Amino acid sequence: MLRIEIDGEPPTSERLAFGLLSNYGHFTAMQVRDRRTKGLDLHLRRLDQGTRELYGTGLSGDRVRTLISHALGDDVRDAAVRVVVFGIGVPSVMVAVRPPSTPPATPQRLMSVDYARPLPHVKHLGGFGQIHHGNRAERAGFDDALLTSDGVVVEGAIANIAFLDDSDDLVWAQADWLHGITMQLLERELPSRREVVRLADVGRYRGAFLTNSVGVVAVSRIDDVEFAVDAAAMARVQAAYDAIPADPFE
């Protein structure tokens, strides 16, 4: 960990303990390169909307940008940044700055589990279920979990999932999920549609991939269904994502 600040100040043990014990709040996560991030407007909107829903008050985008810039300091240009709004009553804003992350180097193998996150449209704290099922998947020889509900594909444990069919569209699983930032950005850039994807029918697609704040990664397996990675399709998705301009905090 490079550094943590709460409301622009070094954290005290009391404030950290309060956040841990309350376990209530929401967050957004982003990759920062050269003090810029993709989809900053979407991150700020997510934080404002989540704060309004959980606390009944908004969160100024200008304040968030200032807090991130302050936490980065003058020396950090590349980082993984998490902005956490937490607490009971009047919320605090924590900015955690860590070394930058990159997508997994190999296509991901997913084990389906029947689990739906509470309040799924909010990127809230308390990801016990996702972590638990992700750990179960790893112990079973997979890379992560695929969340499903009544046989319908919802999302990855910490990612959205899209499928490839015989059209040029990206087919995003339609369900009660978190509308991820990278998903939103790719929906702007590439032909996309949403449809209900039943777990029993994933074999009719020719491929799949995951998206989250770290980027894009292909899926090579869901349970017993294996996908041949479409290198050309994945290159098109990656190129579209790479071409999205990043926004400065200052």
3-state secondary structure 182-250: HHHHHHHHCCEEEECCEHHHHHHCCEEEEEECCEEEEEEEECCEECCCCHHHHHHHHHHHHCCCEEECC
- The confidence score (pLDDT) of residue 62 equals 98
Tell me the per-residue pLDDT of 128-148, one tens digit each, with 9 for 90 and over.
999 999 999 999 999 999 999
Chain-wide mean pLDDT for the chain?
Answer: 96
| φ, ψ dihedrals at 149, nearest 5° | -140, 115
Tell me the per-residue pLDDT of 180-199, one tens digit each, with 9 for 90 and over.
999 999 999 999 999 999 99
What does the alpha-carbon distance between residue 66 and residue 44 come to, in Å, rounded to a whole number?
Answer: 12
Give me the mean pLDDT over the 92-113 stretch: 97
- The confidence score (pLDDT) of residue 236 equals 97
Give pairs for 193-200: CB < 8 Å, separation 24+. Answer: 193/169, 195/171, 196/152, 197/152, 197/153, 197/163, 197/171, 197/173, 198/151, 198/152, 198/153, 199/112, 199/148, 199/151, 199/152, 199/153, 199/223, 200/151
Sign of CA dihedral 37, 41, 45, 48: positive
Q: pLDDT at residue 229 above 80?
A: yes
- The confidence score (pLDDT) of residue 250 equals 87
CA atoms within 13 A on the CB side of 121: 9
Q: pLDDT at residue 1 above 70?
A: no
| φ, ψ dihedrals at 135, nearest 5° | -65, -40
What does the alpha-carbon distance between residue 39 and residue 89 come to, in Å, rounded to a whole number?
Answer: 29
- The confidence score (pLDDT) of residue 16 equals 87
Give me the mean pLDDT over the 233-238 stretch: 97
Q: pLDDT at residue 22 above 70?
A: yes
Tell me the per-residue pLDDT of 40-82, one tens digit each, with 9 for 90 and over.
999 999 999 999 999 999 999 999 999 999 999 999 999 999 9
